[in-house]
Amino acid sequence: MSDDEIILSELSDKELVQQMHDDLYDGLKEEIEEATRILLDRGWAPYDILTQALVEGMRIVGIDFRDGILFVPEVLLSANAMKAGMTILRPLLASTGAPKQGKMVIGTVKGDIHDIGKNLVGMMMEGAGFDVIDLGINNPVENYLEAIEREKPDILGMSALLTTTMPYMKVVIDTLKEKGIREDYIVLVGGAPLNEEFGKAVGADAYCRDAAVAVETAKDFIRRKHNSLAAR
């Protein structure tokens, strides 16, 4: 059967998720939107669609990008398709009615334009009851400073997907230290090339491997912050 004969709504859940991986690979935005809606109609939890269909699909794209089978223009189409699916899921993830937890400022560091992971973390944090101020991509240290001064968040989150841009996180954290305000914020870092050791080395409070870990870690730090304030 050729692709254009596939009727998404007639596929089983498993086939549909598989088809979404293929459609994400091919950058088919409308198909991703349709399939996302179908899974929602079938009672799928938004988080499961996000992880099993979209994030897993992008993982496969990442492998072929790494191996030189896919190139930037194709991966951009995949990213756009993924974002279209995320746009449908976002309000559903954000409206969980979770009690207010705190505020987060998040942005991708200077030189880096990857934003899917950051957006996903922002969405999940909103769903968990955090107010999220998203600074977007390619942020120099000044942007972070200005935003934390203005927003007075509990958490500062930085994202980097390139080995060449991840050291910039240290520039931001060192600047906070120089200004004597490092301890005023919980600093969380993330992105595919990072690891726990790197997080420690740059002076972050924690490295988070994915959005779910980011939410749990953020809640944990907020609890600790409240406990230590209460103990004063």
- What are the beta bridge partners of residue 106? 134, 157
Residue from 112, 134, 154, 205 binding ligand B12 (CB under 6 A): 112
Is 117 a binder of ligand B12 (CB under 6 A)? yes
Q: Closest separation between CB of residue 197 and ligand B12, Å?
A: 15
What are the structure tokens assigned to 127, written together?
A: 């769903």
Is residue 116 near ligand B12 by the rule CB under 6 A? Answer: yes
Which contiguous run of DSSP H or E holds residue 24?
helix 13-25
Beta strands in the chain (DSSP E): 102-108, 130-134, 155-159, 186-190, 206-207
Instruction: Rule CB under 6 A: say whether 110 interacts with ligand B12.
Output: no
Residue 188 near residue 211, CB atoms below 8 Å: no
User: Mask of contacts with ligand B12, 23-62, x by CB under 6 A?
Assistant: --------------------------------x--x--xx
Smallest separation (angstroms) from ligand B12 to the CB of 191: 5
Cα–Cα distance measured from residue 173 to residue 182, given in angstroms and rounded to the nearest whole number? 7
Options 45, 175, 192, 203; binder of ligand B12; rule CB under 6 A: 192
Residue 129 to residue 99: CA distance in whole angstroms: 6
Chain residues binding ligand B12 by CB under 6 A are: 55, 58, 61-62, 65-66, 72, 75-76, 79, 106, 111-118, 120-121, 157-159, 161-163, 188-193, 208, 210-211, 214
